[in-house]
Structure formats: structure tokens, C-alpha cells
Structure 1
Amino acid sequence: MLDLAAWHPEATEIATSPTVPSDFAAETMLDFLSDELMRTGFTDDWAVTAHGQEIEDLIDVFNTIAQPG
């Protein structure tokens, strides 16, 4: 997670926070992760890479935080 967020200060702050992110912070992280998935998570023929799968797993975690229930 920290490797992904290294170039994005707000994402790094959320990732290193000692508390569960707020809904707003989770949505911010979802936006960041979605952009990162599109940027680096697929091969040229749109197959999900191992890196892309890791990002998708993180999206699932933050989606649960942002939209519980």
C-alpha cells in the first residue's frame, strides 16, 4: 500500500493513519486506487495483472469502509 501511495501525499496519510479512515478518506482512497488500477493494473489486452489484483483487493477493503452494510 505504501509503495502505491508514495507519490500521493494524501493517500500516504490515509494509509498510515492509526485509525479507520472516515467515509471521505475512504472515498478519496477509492478514487486514488481506481486511477492507479487503470494506470498500472492491466496488460495491453486488459487482462488484470498480479499488481492489478492487489489493487482490486485494496479497493474491496476501502469500499467496505466507505459503504458499510
Structure 2
Amino acid sequence: MPRKRRPRRLINRYAASRLYDVETRAYVTLDHLKDLRSAGYEVVVREVETGRFVTEDVLKPGLDA
């Protein structure tokens, strides 16, 4: 039986490290991303200027509660 995938949230990172939640169409904070992860979401962060995925750079290990 396949494992159930966690829902995914795409976060765009703009200049000056502004984080934008694509689904809710709102700017968010690192605390909001922490809450999303605690709620079971897979958070994916993409840098808008380069298109690179920078999730690990933004969400340092130990961010989860």
C-alpha cells in the first residue's frame, strides 16, 4: 500500500527574503512556515529570481517544533 503524501505548499522567496505563500496569496513569516510544517504540510521554497529551490537554506534544521 503506497504511503499517503503530505499536502505541499509552495512559497516564493523574493528580494530581501520576503516569503509569499502562493496558495493564500499573502506574505508570510518563518513562524508561519513553522506552523505549516507542524500541521503536516510539506513546505517548498523557490527563489523567484533564479527559479532555484532553496527550501533547505530558508528552513534550517531544527525549525520544526
Q: Is this a same-fold pair by TM over 0.5? A: no
Structure in which a larger fraction of residues adopt strand: 2
Greater per-residue helix proportion? 1
